[in-house]
Chain A
């Protein structure tokens, strides 16, 4: 199909054989499923932003400000649950993974298209259950997103339904992981060898393994919490032979690897964008690819670093502290290789690249502050302070969040056939970058000074910096609004986007815009690597 024909037909947007909402919610086309994920995760992201904005507004001054203490507890719990389970875990893999992965492999769809649709349905059902839990029973959970026992087993808020929703969401994640692993193993086009896989695909492969292997643990753990609440078996009650620290082990056995489910696809996005906008092949392809696997493997063995102050044995603290430092090695390999790729490149500072560059800086700050938390001696001082909150947001928002927007600016014009305006995108990015650092760096300083996390009130000496952090949140939110509005307006009403204006060498840039339903008229034969720009027919 020629480019003009695809544009006229609207590619996968129109060529479905069904009409109305049924053409979406019953579609097995990976691109339509990716789009449904995209709209869902973006909606939940905006909900999470509003909740986060309210948390910061409450903390603008000591004492009660805009909500009660109980509402504040619910706010930070729901902010965490929505952002973690409904936005950031499915964020890049389920949306951009579905949109891009099969095309990057040269396939017409994922290995199990119906299972893919089931994944989305489970995600939607899980999300509805979580949302219902906020307004029914004893009200929104107030445990924090970690659902720690014994409080989660005792609180009268609607914890049982909320964790059941998360349980269902976990199945969605597992099915996506199984689908991607099988697709990457079995659906590669002729010539698409393992060392010709785009690094975004490599990152999704590593992520998928973590999704499949670690997610069942959280499913079991959360079911045990429900069992504890309903039957009162005493599984985590030391008076009855139970072990509360065992809950934390089981929770973090999933939830720390889950951090890599969140960040690895973001690293994959950055690995695809930097060579394109540096006009240079990626530096250290194999090292970046294998470092994804190394991060997935090493990251699965470090969960205990969340528990240094929980009464874990000294040997446990020592072992998990040591293992935590190992994760820094493959993470640093990626950062050094991205920077080396840019060295002497012809760098083009367009919106996707700006988000990618800020990813490197913000992720590095987040990663380095993680070493302070990984070292047991220093962690004791900053555990459960705002330092942890700052660190986590530097990695997750500064990392994955900025990578999500980098991916949106890089790939979405390809799928819509229209593009956003560059200047508002850059202006929004500047506001996001400035607001982000004002807010979260200040929170790290607050944590160093001793301001605890999840506290409704605080001592007067923390007032000045809390005010600064709240002002940062206003700048950040303004940037997000501009970026999302500009994307929304541009993708529906912007200038036409055709061809391969970025100059990408991966397969998605070789097909029509927007991609046709079957992706390729004829099965492609891959003859060059994903970052070999010379001789790949790129203008």
Chain B
């Protein structure tokens, strides 16, 4: 499994940073709307996109071999399962 170094341009890094700032603003914005239980889903969706950007570009996972990406996906899928499982309780009490 060969590892090749991949250097991201300042432009791309800045674009990701700006996207993260915008999404952070969006996280705050959605709290102003009365979305009921969907508020949690909206916050989780935005957080997922943000962490996806960090993982893909800042952590270079987009450029890593497939095995590493699969392993990371397993970890994220498990975390999503843990969070999702609690909703069988929290949303239906």
Contacts and interface: CB of A to CB of B under 8 A. Distances in A.
Q: State yes or no: do A and B come from one complex.
A: yes
Interface SS, B side: helix
A316 interface: yes
Contacts of A214: 78
Contacts of B88: 304, 313, 315-316, 319-320
A319 B92 CA distance: 12
Contacts of B92: 313-316
Interface string B33-72: 0000000000000000000000000000000000100000
A381 interface: no
A533 B82 CA distance: 43
A89 B88 CA distance: 29
B18 interface: no
Nearest to A297: B78
B86 A246 contact: yes
A67 interface: no
A451 interface: no
Interface string A302-324: 01100100011111100110000
B10 to A, nearest CB: 33
A212 interface: yes
B11 interface: no
A303 to B, nearest CB: 7
Contacts, number: 49
Interface SS, A side: helix
Given A212-B75, A213-B75, A304 B89 contact: yes
A249 B75 contact: no
Nearest to B84: A301
Contacts of A311: 93
A155 B86 CA distance: 27
Interface residues of A, number: 24
Central interface residue in B78, B85, B89, B90, by most chain A CB within 10 Å: B89
Given A315-B88, A316-B88, A319-B88, A217 B93 contact: no
A300 interface: yes
A6 B44 CA distance: 58
A253 interface: yes
A161 B86 CA distance: 28
A294 interface: no
A319 to B, nearest CB: 5
Interface string A231-252: 0000000000001011001000
A186 to B, nearest CB: 9
A253 B89 contact: no
Contacts of B75: 212-213
A270 B16 CA distance: 51
A528 B90 CA distance: 52
A245 B87 CA distance: 12
A303 B85 contact: yes
A451 B13 CA distance: 63
A153 B88 CA distance: 26
Interface of A: 185, 209, 212-214, 217, 243, 245-246, 249, 253, 300-301, 303-304, 307, 311-316, 319-320
Interface of B: 67, 74-75, 78-79, 81-82, 85-86, 88-93
Given A243-B90, A249-B89, 6 more contacts: A185-B67, A209-B74, A217-B82, A300-B82, A307-B89, A313-B89
Q: Which 9 A-B pairs have the closest CB atoms?
A: A316-B89, A313-B92, A315-B92, A316-B88, A313-B93, A312-B89, A319-B88, A213-B78, A313-B89
26 contacts: A213-B75, A213-B78, A245-B89, A246-B86, A246-B90, A249-B85, A249-B86, A249-B89, A253-B85, A253-B86, A300-B78, A300-B81, A304-B85, A304-B88, A307-B89, A311-B93, A312-B89, A312-B93, A313-B88, A313-B90, A315-B88, A315-B92, A316-B89, A316-B92, A319-B85, A320-B88
